[in-house]
Amino acid sequence: MIHFILGGAKSGKSHYAEMQMTQYVQPWIYLATGRAWDDEMKQKIQHHQERRGLGWVTVEEPIQIANYLKQSKNTPILIDCLTLWLTNLMMDNRDIEQETKQFIDALQSYGGDILIVSNEVGQGIVPADSMSRAFRNYAGILHQQIAQIADQFIFMVAGYPIIMKS
């Protein structure tokens, strides 16, 4: 079952997804896509790790999330977050369309439950530079694809889940 959790920055997405994940048997797999590019990101990663506490197994995979899913044993996995993954792909000059296709294929063939967290970035102003516009477009297309195949789609606003699809 694919659970898609989308929302703006600081909307409570990750915390909500973590709480949902604790309904499964431990250990809980947290596939982290973030890279510690700067001190602020290092602090954010540390805060997330401390908040999760015991029972969690963190797998740091900034690029190869499709390959990780293909090699996993159908256990429940929380992926946090897709917009950081897209950033990593862009920074590494990867083929975004190919990488997202591989990810969607891996999602559809995975036998276990997957909770996917991502940031909604398309509700603000049109970005001024081409790289930011490309990022917004890639994210919007990826989110549409995942929402289409998701069994459950939650939109988070101010810490509250709004059920978009169930």
Domain ranges for the chain: 2-165
pLDDT, residue 29, reads 94
* pTM over the 0.85 mark: yes
Torsion of CA 54, 36, 124, 98, to 10 degrees: -100
Measure the CA–CA gap between 155 and 101, rounded to whole angstroms. Answer: 23
pLDDT, residue 35, reads 77
Name the residue with higher pLDDT: 122 or 34. Answer: 122
Q: What pLDDT, in 10s, does the model give residues 15-31?
A: 999 999 999 999 899 99
Burial 31-49 (b: 16+ CB within 10 A, else e): bbbbbeeeeeeeeebeebe
CATH topology of domain 2-165: Rossmann fold (3.40.50)
Q: What pLDDT, in 10s, does the model give residues 116-146?
A: 999 999 988 888 999 999 999 999 999 999 9
* Tokens coding 85: 């993954």
CA distances from 108 to 30, 44, 101, 114 (A): 19, 30, 11, 10
In the set 3, 47, 48, 143, the catalytic residue is: 48
pLDDT, residue 40, reads 83
pLDDT band at 44 (very low <50, low <70, confident <90, very high): confident
pLDDT, residue 51, reads 76
Active site residue 48: yes
pLDDT, residue 43, reads 84
